[in-house]
Amino acid sequence: MSAGGPLAGITIVEIGRFITAPYAAMLLGDLGATVVKVEPVTGGDPFRQAGEPGISARFLAYNRNKQSIGLDLAADDGRVVLCRLLGDADVLIENFRPGVMAGFGLDYDRVAGEHPGLVYCSITGAGPDGPAASLPMYDAIGQGLSGLMAQLSEIEYPQPVGPALSDSITGMTAALAIQAALVERSRTGRGQYVQTSMIEATVSFLAEPAAHYFRTGEEQDWLTRPRQSQSFGFRAGDGRPFVIHLSSPLKFWHRLLAVVERPELDGDPRFSTYARRVKNYRELREELSTSFAGAGRDHWLKRFAEEDVPAAPVLTTSETFEHDQVRHLGLEVTLDGPDGLRVAGRGARLTSTPGRLRQPPAFGADTDAVLGRLGYSAAEVAGLRAAAVVG
């Protein structure tokens, strides 16, 4: 693989499935690292099997910029191959349940003993130990245990939300921590154990609800943030949705009243101060809803822009990628590769070291090349294949 990003020269070994570890490794691959994805020798990452022709959308979402090798870690020869691979690597990322890597003889202490410069990142559901550590963990479980779901849906009618927020937050947290560990290694020459979990990453993400609780003893809920930020969702007279976000500056409140031509609301005792508008959020929403029924969304968005009121349409995915600003930013990108696969672009740009975007590999597509780099002969690779150790 060609390099071209700030992490060029860094090799990541990912033993990952589903989202958390694959997403973390993909983010590092976007920045130029060489990522070798180690997949189960029988079938590969479960996200490959999605009932779609070719590369599934779920696999595509989290696995660009990688090489693929199939490897049976339950086999002695498979573990030997992995250890040789780690000898050529800078980072290992894995997202097995606690104890699985130790069962393979690949826990941090053993691996670090042979490869002291390796950054070893372990991603779990609820941490390496404790009363919930052995639970099967997926995104909805992470949302529920962390308190995230209570911030995004009514507690009386709990509803997991998408996309996979707890998974994605965890993957980003891992990628950030890995980069910090690599910086530290550049000073000391030694790697370290990096540990995160869906619970730790997601609870940490909920900084404002946590700070509010510890400060006041009060719980925030799914309406707290909209109330405090004075953000509202409406449908215009043509049925199309939009949002406004007034925040706390008084000017936006007054300009909104000018747009809807309702100056009397400023003198209404329910809405005459910011604190009262927060308290009477639902009543204010109802008052404004009646005003917006009189014209279509384009009319209101034009008036908001004229008055500098923060507002935007609520768009579907297809509408987002047709929006002029999204097009201007080039956020629909085509991956390098024969299939012309399109994805959402990266969320940040580095102008001097832009990195790369290459389509996900077919299962085991790089097995021969990776083993060749490790010094295996063609005959040895054939023997490993015959024994079903590699795929």
Q: Is the pLDDT of residue 306 over 60?
A: yes
Is it true that the peptide bond before 163 is cis, omega within 30 degrees of 0? yes
- Write down the pTM of the prediction: 0.95
Q: Is the pLDDT of residue 87 over 60?
A: yes
pLDDT of residue 2: 39
Strands 119-124 and 193-197, by their bridges, are parallel
C-alpha–C-alpha distance, residues 204 and 170, integer Å: 10
Averaged pLDDT for residues 175-194: 98
Q: Is the pLDDT of residue 3 over 70?
A: no
Per-residue confidence band for 361, with pLDDT thresholds at 50, 70 and 90: very high
pLDDT of residue 50: 73
Averaged pLDDT for residues 234-256: 98
Is 76 catalytic? The answer is no
Closest listed residue to residue 178, CA positions, set 194, 197, 202, 200: 194
Q: How many CA atoms lie within 13 A of 99 on its CB side?
A: 6
* pLDDT tens digits, one per residue of 142-152: 999 999 999 99
pLDDT of residue 1: 39
What does the mean pLDDT of the chain come to? 96
**Angle (nearest 5°) at CA 182 between 176 and 186:** 150
Q: Is the pLDDT of residue 234 over 60?
A: yes
Please report, for residues 98, 102, 123, 181, the alpha-carbon distance to residue 106 in angstroms, rounded to integers and kept in the order given: 12, 5, 14, 20
pLDDT of residue 49: 84
**Angle (nearest 5°) at CA 96 between 165 and 189:** 95
Instruction: Indicate which residue of 139, 167, 336, 339 is catalytic.
Output: 167
* pLDDT tens digits, one per residue of 250-288: 999 999 999 999 999 999 999 999 999 999 999 999 999
Q: Is the pLDDT of residue 355 over 90?
A: no
Averaged pLDDT for residues 36-51: 92
CA dihedral for 364, 370, 375, 377, sign (positive or negative):
positive
Averaged pLDDT for residues 85-95: 98
DSSP string for residues in 291-352: HHTTS-HHHHHHHHHHHT--EEE---HHHHTTSHHHHHHT-EEE-BSTT--EEE--S---SS
Strands 241-245 and 231-235, by their bridges, are antiparallel
Averaged pLDDT for residues 96-101: 97
